[in-house]
Amino acid sequence: MLCCDLPARVTIVEVGLRDGLQAEKVIVPTETKLALARGLIAAGIRHLELTSFVSPRAVPQLADAEALLARLGRPDGVEITALVPNAKGAERALRAGVDGMVVFLSASESHNRKNLNRSIAESLADVAEVARLGAAANVPVHAALSVVFGCPFEGEVPTEKVVALARELFALGIRRLSLGDTTGMATPALVRARVEALRAALPELELVLHFHNTRGVGLVNAWVGLELGITRFESSIGGLGGCPFAPGATGNICTEDLVYLLQESGIETGIDLERLIAVAQEAERAIGRPLPGQVMKAGPRLKLHPLDAVATAKG
């Protein structure tokens, strides 16, 4: 039974292999990434942001973008997308055969220059070129906007600025926009304010929410999104992630934790939680350190244990 007036079904976009791994210092082998991708697909993930066609010098972890796409192929019923910073990256992505491209820029000038080494105006020009290439190839182009809920260099990011940038993206042909909480500065009040303002200004723009759990309220913010009727969320297996160009950035909200919350609230995802937990545990082994996911440690709510699993109290 649904709680309140929440959506009946939610789409999960898994970003762990891109956003999750990009901040890891130890290079994860392509074979390991491939195994994780196949595990996620077997668990029911149907929207996979697999990699990014950024410069290998900027993000060495994602230098195997072409190889990873070539080896994974085009699984039936699975949307494979990739992040692209500019026309050169888009051309690489199109040659590799992606189903969709994601362009990105920041809501603050300071973070945009740190993350992309470009001004916001220059990034918008890049978006226009990528949108043109995508339209010519009949490949959809979506956008991701970073530091929507606050910038680690400038502080508050005015709602009016977010709306103004969304208008410019919409004018360039963007019809789906991910609102990124890059350093976990979102709060329930900010989520509500941003979503309501964007909907009022651009009712035809589909909004996606991308939260980090830096300050422990990632799932709370996701719940507010559900109450607002958002049906598409980005998350990362095991809670991997963190922007390498933003101080204090830690992992995304965990895919398996989000799926658990949704399923226990009567919201369909099409994802097998037990199989997803197994992939999260595999990711933890691959990274070689504990990941922040909680459900991967505790299991589903009704997971039972034998009586002799723990000692009996004495006295």
Active site residue 3: no
Rounded Cα gap, residues 293 and 217, in angstroms: 14
Rounded Cα gap, residues 291 and 296, in angstroms: 9
The H-or-E segment that residue 32 falls in is helix 30-42
Rounded Cα gap, residues 37 and 31, in angstroms: 10
Q: Which of 4, 151, 243, 254 is catalytic?
A: 243
Rounded Cα gap, residues 84 and 130, in angstroms: 8
Segments of the chain assigned E as strands: 11-14, 47-52, 79-83, 100-106, 141-146, 176-180, 206-210, 232-235
Rounded Cα gap, residues 169 and 124, in angstroms: 8
Rounded Cα gap, residues 19 and 235, in angstroms: 9
Q: Any idea which residues carry the catalytic annotation?
A: 243
